[in-house]
Amino acid sequence: ILGLRYRLAEWQAESPEDGPAFPERAEAVRSELRRIAEALRGTVRDLRPAGPAPEGLSAALAGAAARLEEEFPGRLPPVTLDIPLSLRLPLPAELCLFRAAKEALRNVARHADARLVAVRVEEGGGRVALTVEDDGRGFAPPERLGDLARGAHYGLAGLEERVASLGGALAVASRPGVGTRLTVTLPITTQEEPDG
């Protein structure tokens, strides 16, 4: 992808005889390639096994929020964490909640233009629930989150698959101008890591 970007830049500089449309088209392609390269970097970053540390989900999410603040300077509002420090979950559930919260926080930084964001985890009745809520611009979520993948928005669609593989449920409540609330509910009896 980087090679194509550089080659396009060379063509753009060497081809004034192609008229004014070529530089504009080349710049549009270069811009799209930059966007694809950034998306791939994010995907590779997310594939790393980084997850909850031995000190627990709360500490891991505090660290993830700090890294996202560096990645998106000025775009992620202060994150309020309400997670019991003593909470210990089976690793697959803890990793799923970590990734869900991280994806939600990344979406807040990218899209929400929020002033506040809160992450809360509650446990009881053999289940654990993660809620990430912001006061940002909100959006109109599709009826099926999997439909987001058709528009090249894979984060929530992939998260829904991971949550379902653990017997859980993902819900997104939002509307334009109101903010967004993402809730993941998992059984805490899951002991095996899902494939994929």
Confidence (pLDDT) at 39: 73
Is 182 contained in some domain?
A: yes
Is 63 contained in some domain?
A: yes
Are 82 and 19 found together in one domain? no
Are 22 and 86 found together in one domain? no
Are 96 and 131 found together in one domain? yes
Are 71 and 35 found together in one domain? no
- Selection from 175, 81, 184, 82 nearest residue 135 by Cα: 175
In three-state secondary structure terms, 136 is: coil
Is 192 contained in some domain?
A: no
Given 45, 62, 80, the domain boundary residue is: 45
**CATH code of residue 147:** 3.30.565.10
Confidence (pLDDT) at 149: 53
pTM of structure:
0.69
| Most confident of the following: 18-27, 60-69, 144-153 | 60-69
Least confident of 62-66, 113-117, 143-147, 163-167: 143-147
Are 94 and 40 found together in one domain? no
Residue 153 to residues 90, 94, 147, 159, Cα–Cα distance (Å): 29, 24, 9, 11
- Selection from 125, 107, 72 nearest residue 180 by Cα: 107
Residue 158, C-beta contacts closer than 8 angstroms, at least 6 positions apart: 149
The answer to whether 100 touches 61, Cβ cutoff 8 Å, is no
Q: How many independent structural domains does the chain possess?
A: 2
Residue 108, domain extent: 53-187
pLDDT at 79 over 80: yes
Are 32 and 61 found together in one domain? no
Are 113 and 173 found together in one domain? yes
Are 36 and 57 found together in one domain? no
Is 193 contained in some domain?
A: no
The answer to whether 130 touches 119, Cβ cutoff 8 Å, is yes
Q: Give the helix ranges, DSSP H, for the chain.
A: 2-14, 21-47, 57-71, 91-107, 154-165
Give the rounded percent of residues in the chain with a pLDDT score beyond 90.
45
Is 194 contained in some domain?
A: no
What is the tens place of the pLDDT at every residue in 105-135?
999 999 999 999 999 999 999 999 999 999 9
Is 169 contained in some domain?
A: yes
Least confident of 105-119, 131-145, 157-171: 131-145
